[in-house]
Structures are given as structure tokens and as C-alpha cells.
Amino acid sequence: VITSPNPPIAGQNVTITYDATGRDLAGQSNVYIHMGRNGWTNIIQPNPQMTSLGSNRYSYLYNVPGGTT
């Protein structure tokens, strides 16, 4: 998993990229991300679907809320 920027910054967008090559999710048409912040007290439900980039790579754009630690 790669985040850009790294580390994520509160109040800004972060792109999360996952490469499933050689992993259990390789070849899946739908990949979902489990998101939480502030010690997993603010979990996003339902799990958002990541965007396929092809070649077993997926991304998700998230706006990190202000006050996130």
C-alpha cells in the first residue's frame, strides 16, 4: 500500500494505491478498502470500492478530514 502524500495530511486529499499482484485479491474485479481514522474510531461504512488501474493495481482518493490524527 502506497499513500500520496506520505504521510497523509489532515484537510487534504490522499491517494491510496494497492498492488494486488501475488496476493489474494489478484485478478478480482472489485476491491474494497477498509478505512478508519483517529485510532479506528471513525470507520467508513460501507467499505468504499477502489478504482481499478489495471494490472492488479487499485486506487482510492480520500479527503482526510481536518482534525484527523
pTM above 0.85, yes or no: yes
Answer whether the bond into residue 7 is a cis peptide, omega within 30°.
yes
Give the model's pLDDT for residue 41: 84
The predicted-structure confidence for 15-34, as pLDDT tens digits, reads as follows 999 999 999 999 999 999 99
Q: How confident is the model at residue 10 (pLDDT cuts 50, 70, 90)?
A: very high
E strands, the chain, are: 2-4, 13-19, 51-54, 57-63
